[in-house]
Amino acid sequence: MKRARFERPTDHYDEGIFSIDEQICALIKQRKELSNNNPGFPEPEYITKWAEKYGLYEDLLNSVFVDLLNEDYLRPMIEPKHFQKFIPILKSVEEDMVFYSVTFIRQYENASVVNFNIDLTVENEEASEEHMRHRFFELYIGEQYDCRMGMGSGSGGHLSYKYIVTPPLPEEVSGLELVFKEHRATFLNVTTGHEIVIQL
């Protein structure tokens, strides 16, 4: 579940641009503060204008602003340690011929791991899988919990996602509500409005 360690792509660095790079970092911080950490995304015409004005590629600017928009998903992720027990859940929701389920929660000393499964209908499996590849589900339990998707995989009409929840959930989970909010995969903080709610 640990995010792959970043590897520096090259050993070369022009020390002559150090002060410029530091200014870029300072401007990113200033941008976050002025926007209350909710900057949105520049209008397409702004991207085109800046690309022409500064001799940059539009795709480069789009990539930069997408990363800034999705900064929250780059926060360091807690690695679950010292497994304690499985908490059986066995709850499900069926919607539009798609079966969503949470069968169990792994309980660790410092976190909980929620398994979220999506099973697609065999009749429309290929089209459904193509649709789901362009979607991302964020788990929300409450303001007191930080929920991060650790990994996801799928094949043959079955998709599975694991969410790392900190602090750990209580061993008695009855009454909790797991809300899986659908996002567009390209822009992780842009919701589609579609939610899957599983009551524990």
DSSP 195: E
Question: Could you give the number of structural domains in the chain?
Answer: 2
pLDDT for position 112 = 96
Quote the domain boundaries for residue 149.
Answer: 83-199
Residue 64 and residue 101 share a domain? no
pLDDT for position 190 = 61
Residue 157 and residue 134 share a domain? yes
Residue 180 and residue 95 share a domain? yes
Residue 166 and residue 130 share a domain? yes
pLDDT for position 128 = 54
For 52-68, write each residue's pLDDT tens digit.
999 999 999 999 998 89
The CA-based angle 199-109-70, given to 5 degrees, is 65
Residue 2 lies in a domain: no
Q: Which residues contact 85 (CB under 8 A, 6 or more apart)?
A: 107, 171
Please classify residue 171 by burial: count the beta carbons closer than 10 Å to its beta carbon, then call 0-12 exposed, 13-18 middle and 19+ buried.
exposed
Q: Which residues contact 120 (CB under 8 A, 6 or more apart)?
A: 97, 98, 99, 128, 129, 132, 157, 158, 159
Residue 93 and residue 46 share a domain? no
pTM for the whole structure: 0.70
pLDDT for position 194 = 84
pLDDT for position 192 = 72
Query: What is the CATH number for 189?
Result: 2.60.40
Alpha-carbon torsion (130, 133, 134, 136), positive or negative = positive
Q: Which residues contact 130 (CB under 8 A, 6 or more apart)?
A: none
pLDDT for position 133 = 56
Residue 103 lies in a domain: yes
Residue 119 and residue 57 share a domain? no
**What residue ranges of the chain have pLDDT lower than 50?**
1
